[in-house]
Amino acid sequence: MVVGDFVGAAFSFYIIYEAARMGIPKRVLLRMCGNVLVETLVGEIPILGDIFDAVWKANVRNFRLIELHHRPTQPERSLRKIFWTIALLFTAMVAVALATMAAIIWLLVQLFRG
């Protein structure tokens, strides 16, 4: 469950990487990252997360954003800066997800300690 969602998020960030390289505006790239973040975090919730993943489809949303904002005349961006930016975003997303899961586990332990 957890590993699968993060592997999926890694592939989703490759799409964002390519969008950035194509010259998609930064505000759109942030929106794309938000789509992946929401899908990954909600996807961690048992059962509800699977239902949400089936409906939300972050990559479909992100491809639509690329189609809306891609301008073939836009020059491509430097790959190194894009790679490190996306790597940083992915690391932050993993940290937030782990902190969220730790908080949920702590809360469940507190509730059942009794």
pLDDT value at position 77?
A: 67
Is the pTM here over 0.75, yes or no? Answer: no
pLDDT value at position 100?
A: 75
Can you give the pLDDT of all 114 residues of the chain as single tens digits? 566 777 777 888 889 888 888 888 889 988 998 898 888 878 777 788 778 878 888 889 999 999 999 888 767 666 777 777 777 777 877 787 778 778 778 888 888 886
| DSSP calls for 7-72 | HHHHHHHHHHHHHHHTT--HHHHHHHHHHHHHHHHHHTSTTHHHHHHHHH-HHHHHHHHHHHH--T
pLDDT value at position 63?
A: 94
Domain ranges for the chain: 2-113
pLDDT value at position 12?
A: 87
